[in-house]
Structure 1
Amino acid sequence: MMKDFMLKKRNSEIASGMDEDQHANSGPSNKSPNQVPQKQKKKPRGPTKGIKSMPGVPRIIEWDHLDRPTGKWATDYKNHIGEISRAKVSILIRTWEDVSQGIKDTLWEDVKREFHITDETKKEVVLKSCDKRWREFKSRLTTGWIRGTRKRPKDEKMPYDLYSYITKDIWKEFVKIRTSEEAEEISEKARQSQSFNIYPHHMGQKSYAEMTSE
C-alpha cells in the first residue's frame, strides 16, 4: 500500500508540474494587467545594404540650390553612394587623393546610371559624397572595433565577418595603420577641430537639405 501511495503522489506531482508549465506558456493571459512593457533598446548601427537596380523605374535625383540631393530618392541615393564607396575603395588607401582616377570614374558611372544623372557637372558633387561616406566608414570601423568608443552589434562579429570586401589580412593592416603615431596625431587634431563645432548635426541620417524641404 505504501508503494501505491508513493506512486500516486509522484504522478500527482508530475501532473501538477505540467499544469504549471502549460500555464506559464499560455501567452498574454499569464501577464499581469498592470505590467508595463520594457522599452526596446536601440540596436547599434550595422552594415548598410545598397539599393538594388530597378529597371524601368526612373529614379531621378533632385538637387537644391547648394547641389544637395533632395526629393523622393535622396535616401536611396545616399545609401547607394555609401555602399559602392565602401565596396570599391579599399580601406587601406590613406586619403581620397590616393584613390585612382579609374575607380573614381567607375563610381561616377555607377551613380549616374542608377539615378539618371545627365548633368556632367554633377560628377564632382557625387565624388565628394563618395569621399565623405568612405571616410565615415573608416571612422566607424576605428571607433567601433579599434578604440571601442562607438557601439557595435552585440554578436561580436568582426568587420571581415560583416563585409565581404574586408579580409582578415586587410583588417590586420588597417588596424596597424589606424594605431600608428601618424594616425594618432591626425585623430587628435580632428578631435580638437570638432570641439569648436557649436552646431553639431542631430538629425539622424537625414541631411539639412531633406529637413529643410520637410
Structure 2
Amino acid sequence: MAEVHKDTSAEHTTEDECYDHRKEQRQLIMARREEKGLQKPSKNLDTKKRKGRGPTKSLGKHTLMTLDYDDLGQPCGKWRQKYAMQVGICMHKLSILHSWKEVPETLKKMIWEDTMNQFNIPNDEAKKDLFLSAVAQRFRDFKAKLVSGWITKRRKVGGTKKKKIYDEGATPYSEASQGTSFEDPSKLPYQIWRHITVEEWYAFVKQKTTPEAIAYGSKNSANAKARKHYHHLGAQSYGQARESWMYNHYPTIASTTTLGTSSTTTVAQRQPDRALDWWCSMHGVDAKGQRVIPDPATKADS
C-alpha cells in the first residue's frame, strides 16, 4: 500500500499565527496593566500634593517642635536650624524703611508669640530677648547687604547655586522661600525679595543716600577695614563649634572645691563658657595643632 503523506504546512502556519496572536494579546494586556499601575499612584500623589499646597506663613504647622537650650541659654538640638529659619522669616516681616527701634512693639510681640508657640518655648523673658536680638541682628545685616550691594556697591553682588527664588505655592515668609534667594546682578532687590515693594526700595535708596547716611556708612566701612582679626566659625554657631572644641584644645577652667574644713582641691574642668567660646573662635590652628591668632602681616599674598 502506498504511503499517504499529509500536508501539515498549512496547519503549522495556522498554529503559528494563533500563537503570535495570543502573544500580542498578552503583551497588550500587560502593557495596559502597567499603564494603569503607573497612572494610579501618580493620581494619588497629585491629590496629596494639592492637599498639602497653599500659603504657609510660618514653620512647624504640622510638626510638633520643642526647642532645646544649652547650659549657656543658647538654642541647640534637633530644631535649632528650623529656629534659625524662623528668625529669617520674622525678619522678612519688617519694613526696610524702619530701624529696629522703630519696629512697632506689637509686631515684635506677635513674632515672638508665634515663635514661642511653634517651638514650645516657655514664656521666659531671657529667651524672648535672645530671639528678638537675633531678629534685630539679622535685620541689620540684611539692610547692610542691600546698601553695600546695590547703593554704595562696595560689595560685589553674586548668586548662589540655589537660583530658585520662591518655590511653587510658597509665600515670601514661608519655609519654602527661605535660603533660596538668588542675588542676580541684573535685578534690583524688589525683584529678588518679594517682601520688598518698588516704593519701599526707592524710599530706602533715598534714605541711605543723604549726606548723614553717607558719612555714617563711610565711618563704619573704615572701622571694618581697620579690623585685623576675625573669628573662625564659618557658618557654624558657637554651639556647633563647641562640640568639636570640647575634644580639641578647649581651655580648662580651674575650679576649687573644699573638702572638710581645712583642705582644698583645685580641679581643671572643661565646661562651656562664653569667654572661652570667643577665645576659641578667634584662634586658628597651626601646623602643630596649637591654637594661635594669625598675624595678618605674615599672611602670604594669594
Fold shared per TM-score above 0.5? yes
Matched with 1:65 is 71
Matches of 1:75 and 1:201 in 2, distance apart? 21
Question: Alpha-carbon deviation of 1:134?
Answer: 0.6
The amino acid across from 2:97 in the alignment is L
Question: Alpha-carbon deviation of 1:127?
Answer: 0.5
Matched with 2:294 is none
Question: Alpha-carbon deviation of 1:75?
Answer: 1.8
Q: Which has the higher helix share?
A: 1
Matched with 2:216 is 186
Q: 2:144 aligns with which of 124, 139, 142?
A: 139
Q: 1:211 aligns with which of 241, 248, 253?
A: 241
* 3-state SS of 1:123 partner: helix
Question: Alpha-carbon deviation of 1:202?
Answer: 4.1
Question: Alpha-carbon deviation of 1:146?
Answer: 1.6
The amino acid across from 2:117 in the alignment is R
Percent identical pairs in the alignment equals 30
After superposition, the C-alpha distances for 1:185-205 in whole angstroms (9 at most, x for unaligned) are: 222332343345444234333
Matches of 1:134 and 1:120 in 2, distance apart? 23
Question: Alpha-carbon deviation of 1:82?
Answer: 1.4
Q: Gapped runs of 5+ residues in structure 1?
A: 1-49
The amino acid across from 1:161 in the alignment is Q
Matched with 1:90 is 95
Question: Alpha-carbon deviation of 1:155?
Answer: 5.8
Matched with 2:133 is 128
Give TM-score, length-normalised by structure 2: 0.49
The amino acid across from 2:216 in the alignment is I
Give TM-score, length-normalised by structure 1: 0.67
Q: Which has the higher strand share?
A: 2
Matched with 1:168 is 198
Matches of 1:179 and 1:66 in 2, distance apart? 41
Q: Which runs of 4+ in 1 moved over 6 A?
A: none
Give the number of aligned pairs: 163
The amino acid across from 2:206 in the alignment is K
Matched with 2:116 is 112
Matched with 2:231 is 201
Question: Alpha-carbon deviation of 1:66?
Answer: 3.3
Matches of 2:75 and 2:219 in 1, distance apart? 30
Q: Gapped runs of 5+ residues in structure 2?
A: 1-55, 159-182, 245-302
Matches of 1:81 and 1:185 in 2, distance apart? 30
